[in-house]
Structure 1
Amino acid sequence: MFILKSTLREFTTDGCLDLAASLTYRMVLAIFPALIALVSLLSLFGQSGTTVTAVLDEAQGTVPAETWDTVQPALESILTAPAPGVGLIIGLLIALWSASSYVKAFGRAMNVIYEVPEGRGGIKLNVQMYLLTALLLVLLTVALMVFVLSGPVAQAVGSAIGLGIVAMTVWNIAQWFLLGFVVIFAVALLYYATPNVQQPKFRWISIGALVAIVVAVLASAGFFFYVSNFGNYNATYGALAGVIILLLWLYIINAILLFGAEIDSEIERARELQAGISAEEDLQLPARDTKASDKKAKKQREHLERARNLRRSAGHNRHGAVADHRELSG
């Protein structure tokens, strides 16, 4: 009960709903660069065309019609564009740089949740976030490859390589476990690598991550069901209905991810309190790096000292002016 109440309080105090809105903005900006990078990765294996077509076919039946009508032209334009030839690596790096904006923003939100300033220097932080973004894109590539190998695609592949019905049935079940593993690993990486705190250990699945994943799946299913059957966004937003629905869904997902992170943070606080550690106000997890935060704190102290000197000099000048006025009056 303490952890639940503390999580709800900190979720509000940390402004996680506002942070989720910021993450949604960053995610929208990062989606298309990430897709470009994804197509570039798939093109290395000669799979961009068939994989993208299969993903678009599957996605059409799962998302609301308004959203699909809005994003389909942009998706087809980006995903079906031929991958760059000589400039493949350059294009991939540029797309990776753009897509990393969400990961960096998620790290800043995690620092707020864990009550720690960012202490990693600009070069170190960017390298870590770029590597993490690249790893997440690789995981997304694997997830897409697993996702498209289902239904008619899986049957066609199975017939081509001589797999029987039993083997295809096993694969159709196993693929969901593989997709679940990819999602769990991706969330675990976000929770572990983005904040400037040294976690006690890397956990494949934490309580907060488990809650976030389960709630995100249920919330997505409920939201899409509501939009498809009861929501009438076209009447309110007109041509922008699809965009609004997409933004609302991404906002819900980001808010849930931050709530899961708050759960892990408050569980850690409870553990520290039970161990006799003073964690009522701040968690006592060590920072990954303090170089940048120490430098920033030093500059802040120097600025405050200059401000104090300015105030003191102003007071000294004022007292001197008063004394001179008294001498002239006398």
Structure 2
Amino acid sequence: MNRKLLPSWVNRRLNQWLVRAKKISLPGLQQVPVYDVGVFYVNGIANGALGVRASGISFNFFMSLFPSIIFLFTLIPFVPIPNFQDELMHLIQEVLPSNTFQVVESTILDITTKRRLSLLSFGFLAALFFSTNGISALIASFNASANAFESRSWLSMQFIAMVLVVILFGLTTIATGLIIFGKEILKMLVANGSMQSGLSQALFLSGQWLVILLFMLLSLSFLYYYAPSKRSNYRFFSPGAIMATLLITLLTLGFSYYLGHFGRYNKLYGSIGTLLALLIWLNMSSFVLLLGFELNVSIRNAQLGIKKDLELSDSSQDYERFYPKREDLLKDT
């Protein structure tokens, strides 16, 4: 953008913002000025081919999604909890757009109500294999953002990817269980008269969604902290993980609202429209994952840049101290 084409008052305001951005820092930026982080962040997004890398990650996640879902759903009939299947169906109906839920409802009911040991074992192995490949693709993309070579062996990287898959699966299972049991607890409290006001019920349900956000933040923090080959000075709860959690939440809510009110994928493409919508959501979510990690990398690069500037300034001062300038030598003569 050519700033000469802008009015003078706009240029003055931009200059004021730039001066402030070079002096102030936000919480989580580790005392690095906003301007320095922003410069690295914009350059990383512009030159990092995030769209291409997000497409590769989303494809690997798409391949792992269906075996994982099959494994989870075939595991449900073995859970000895009354009305667990009904509560899970209500939860899926709330999360998925109405058109998508109508397409997959009969299939989900068939899987979640009948015990299939052979399908359970196959689903577990397939889910573990494809999910590990998806995490491995994410690790490679993180290393590309951090300009780090993979120093770990293939077995070590596969082991880390497998551990991350198990952690993510455990966090997802716990979050789903808390939502389902939370609704049962709410029904019991309402039936006993302990929670009658609508405000109390709304606060209780809001607390459930806060739990979902917390578990999502935990999942992304595990990925950002343990997946890269070089962790440097990343914090576990990093600014990138917090930003990605908020963006994925807004993306999911907005995309679900769009499909429910404006999307016509099922009318145009039939049942394939559901897969198309899922691919678009996975691609955008993968892009957000890379945006969050790119923020962490930008903070680290800005810190390294400031450190190098300080080292150069110190070395120049030492040089001037031991080697006087030519003008000073001429004065002495």
Same fold (TM over 0.5): yes
Deviation digits for residues 198-225 of structure 1 (CA, Å, limit 9, x no counterpart): 3325412x11111111122222222222
5 Å-filtered alignment, 1:138-149, equals 138-149=170-181
1:11 to 27, 35, 45: 45
CA contact (8 A) 2:41 2:295 kept: yes
- Partners of 2:270 and 2:101 in 1: CA distance: 14
CA contact (8 A) 1:111 1:117 kept: yes
Aligned residues: 273
Q: Which residue of 2 aligns with 1:30?
A: 64
Q: Which has the larger displacement, 114-123 or 57-66?
A: 57-66
Verify: 1:193 aligned to 2:226, yes or no.
Answer: yes
> CA distance change for structure 1 residues 269 and 98 in 2, over 3 Å: closer, same or farther?
same
TM-score under structure 2 length normalisation:
0.71
- SS of 2:308's equivalent in the other structure is coil
Q: Which residue of 1 aligns with 2:302?
A: 270
- Partners of 2:123 and 2:277 in 1: CA distance: 30
Residue 87 of structure 2 aligns with an amino acid whose one-letter code is: A
- Partners of 1:275 and 1:44 in 2: CA distance: 57
Deviation at 1:122, TM superposition (A): 1.7
5 Å-filtered alignment, 1:1-330, equals 1-39=35-73, 46-47=80-81, 50-82=83-115, 84=117, 92-151=124-183, 153-158=184-189, 164-165=194-195, 169=201, 171-200=204-233, 202-204=235-237, 206-234=238-266, 236-276=268-308
Residue 290 of structure 2 aligns with an amino acid whose one-letter code is: L
CA contact (8 A) 1:68 1:242 kept: no
> CA distance change for structure 1 residues 13 and 36 in 2, over 3 Å: closer, same or farther?
same
Residue 11 of structure 1 aligns with an amino acid whose one-letter code is: I
For structure 1, the 5+ residue unaligned runs are 279-330
> CA distance change for structure 1 residues 120 and 41 in 2, over 3 Å: closer, same or farther?
farther
Deviation at 1:265, TM superposition (A): 0.6
Deviation at 1:276, TM superposition (A): 1.5
CA contact (8 A) 2:73 2:108 kept: no
> CA distance change for structure 1 residues 185 and 73 in 2, over 3 Å: closer, same or farther?
same
- SS of 2:117's equivalent in the other structure is coil
> CA distance change for structure 1 residues 202 and 81 in 2, over 3 Å: closer, same or farther?
farther
- Partners of 2:75 and 2:229 in 1: CA distance: 29
- Partners of 2:229 and 2:73 in 1: CA distance: 31
Deviation digits for residues 157-216 of structure 1 (CA, Å, limit 9, x no counterpart): 5479x6932898475343333222211110001111111113325412x11111111122
> CA distance change for structure 1 residues 93 and 164 in 2, over 3 Å: closer, same or farther?
farther
Deviation at 1:79, TM superposition (A): 4.0
Deviation at 1:227, TM superposition (A): 2.4
> CA distance change for structure 1 residues 117 and 83 in 2, over 3 Å: closer, same or farther?
farther
> CA distance change for structure 1 residues 238 and 89 in 2, over 3 Å: closer, same or farther?
closer
For structure 2, the 5+ residue unaligned runs are 1-34, 311-333
Q: Which has the larger displacement, 49-58 or 133-142?
A: 49-58
Q: Which residue of 2 aligns with 1:322?
A: none
Q: How well do the aligned residues superpose, as a CA RMSD in angstroms?
A: 3.1
Residue 257 of structure 1 aligns with an amino acid whose one-letter code is: L
- Partners of 1:18 and 1:271 in 2: CA distance: 28
CA contact (8 A) 1:32 1:78 kept: no
> CA distance change for structure 1 residues 50 and 258 in 2, over 3 Å: closer, same or farther?
farther
- Partners of 2:226 and 2:151 in 1: CA distance: 14
> CA distance change for structure 1 residues 91 and 16 in 2, over 3 Å: closer, same or farther?
same
Deviation at 1:15, TM superposition (A): 1.4
CA contact (8 A) 1:67 1:245 kept: no
CA contact (8 A) 2:135 2:165 kept: yes
Deviation at 1:77, TM superposition (A): 4.3
Residue 72 of structure 1 aligns with an amino acid whose one-letter code is: E
Residue 35 of structure 1 aligns with an amino acid whose one-letter code is: I
